[in-house]
């Protein structure tokens, strides 16, 4: 309970000092957690996160699970044309393959027991912005989901976040400005 009180106070102070960057929940998906706070350690303003090529973006997601979920993974997608390009659909590109999300969570029991219902978790992420990325405005889709045995997944399910059969723990679209 003390952890939740500290998180709530930190969330209020973060919002007051502008440390909580803009975000919006992913469309067409049920999230199996309640997001308490998002804190960016990079520059952020009211409209976007700021990313610098060759430097890391660092962010903490603090959440409480609505149900028990076993092994989890996180995936990051770049949405290059959020408003929709040819055919009205946005172009999404996977930043990298999905990886074990427990290594980013402040709980040593995550690896062996998974995520537990009503327990608060802090997920600390740091990912490098490739040097080759031009100055551009885009959105990043950040997904934390139930990991499913890869032998059961076809290529479409691995590449398309919406087609993946695992439960979604967190899914947010983050507007990013590469400077």
- Domain harbouring 66, CATH code: 2.60.40.770
> What is the mean predicted confidence (pLDDT) over 134-144?
86
Residue bearing the bigger pLDDT, 14 or 62: 62
Domain count, the chain: 1
pLDDT greater than 50 at residue 4: no
Q: Which is nearest to 63 in space by CA: 114, 122, 105, 124? A: 122
- Pairing state of beta strands 49-51 and 24-25? unpaired
d(CA 73, CA 167): 11
Record the tokens describing residue 128, joined without a space.
């490098």
Residues 6+ apart with CB under 8 A from 9: none
Q: Which is nearest to 175 in space by CA: 138, 130, 131, 125? A: 138
Full residue range of the structural domain in which residue 44 is found: 2-178
pTM of the predicted protein model = 0.76
pLDDT computed for residue 155 by the predictor: 57
pLDDT tens figures, 155-168: 555 566 666 778 88
pLDDT computed for residue 87 by the predictor: 61
CA distances from 20 to 24, 26, 33, 100 (A): 12, 18, 18, 25
pLDDT greater than 90 at residue 21: no
């Amino acid at each position: 309970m003390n952890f939740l009180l500290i998180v709530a106070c930190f969330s209020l102070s973060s919002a007051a000092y502008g440390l909580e960057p803009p975000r919006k929940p992913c469309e067409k998906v049920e999230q199996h957690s309640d997001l308490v706070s998002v804190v960016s350690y990079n520059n952020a303003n009211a409209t976007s996160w700021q990313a610098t090529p060759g430097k890391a973006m660092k962010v903490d997601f603090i959440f409480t699970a609505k149900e028990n979920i076993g092994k989890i993974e996180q995936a990051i997608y770049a949405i290059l044309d959020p408003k929709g390009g040819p055919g009205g659909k946005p172009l999404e590109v996977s930043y990298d393959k999905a990886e074990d999300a427990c290594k980013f969570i402040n709980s040593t029991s995550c690896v062996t027991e998974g995520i537990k219902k009503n327990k608060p978790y802090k997920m600390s992420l740091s990912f490098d912005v490739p040097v080759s990325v031009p100055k551009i405005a885009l959105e990043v889709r950040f997904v934390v989901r139930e990991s499913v045995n890869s032998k059961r997944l076809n290529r479409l399910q691995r590449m398309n976040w919406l087609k993946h059969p695992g439960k979604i723990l967190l899914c947010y679209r983050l507007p990013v400005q590469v400077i």
